[in-house]
Amino acid sequence: MKTEIIKFNPNSTLAGVFTLGARVLLILLFIQAGIGKIGAYQGTAGWMESMGVPGALLPLVILLEVGGSLALLVGYQTRLVALAMAVFSVVSAFIFHSNLSDQAQFLNFYKNISMAGGFLALMVLGAGRFSIDAKLKG
C-alpha cells in the first residue's frame, strides 16, 4: 500500500509557486554575497589569495553568485545554473571553510554543503511553471 502525505502535480500552479519560492530562497544568500564582494573587491581578492586561490578568479565568482542568482530567480537555464551553483558551493566549502574546529567555519562549511543539496534538487526538478525555461519550452 502506497501512502503519501503530500502529493503535487508537478505542472500545477501550487507546485509552480513552491518551486518559485525555492528558487528565491536559494539565491538570497548568494546574491547578497556577490554584491558584497563587489563592494569589498580588493579585500575579497586578497582573502582569496591568502587561501591559495588566485584573486583574478574573483570576477568569475561574482558573475556566478550574482548572474547565477538572477538566472535562477527568473528561471533561465535553471538546471545548468543550479548544477554550477552546487559545484561552487561544495568547492568553496572545502577551500574556504574547512577549518571545522572554528565554530563559524564549521557552520559555513555545512551551510554550503546544505545549499548544494538544494541546488541539486532544483537541478533535478527544473525551474517549474513560473520561469523563462517553462515559457521557452512552450
pLDDT on residue 1: 58
The predicted structure's pLDDT at residue 3? 67
Query: Rounded distance, CA 55 to CA 76, Å?
Result: 28
Kindly list the domain boundaries of the chain, sorted by start residue.
13-137
Which grid coordinates belong to 109? 562549511
The pLDDT assigned to 2 comes to: 67
Average confidence (pLDDT) per 10 residues, the chain, 138 residues: 71 90 96 97 96 96 98 98 98 93 93 97 95 92
Which residues, other chains included, contact 105 with Cβ-Cβ below 8 Å and sequence gap of 6+?
A: 97, 98, 99
Q: Are 85 and 119 in contact (CB under 8 A)?
A: yes
The single residue listed with the C-alpha cell 566549502 is 93
pLDDT at 77: 98
In 3D space, the residue among 22, 31, 6 whose CA is nearest the CA of residue 126 turns out to be: 22
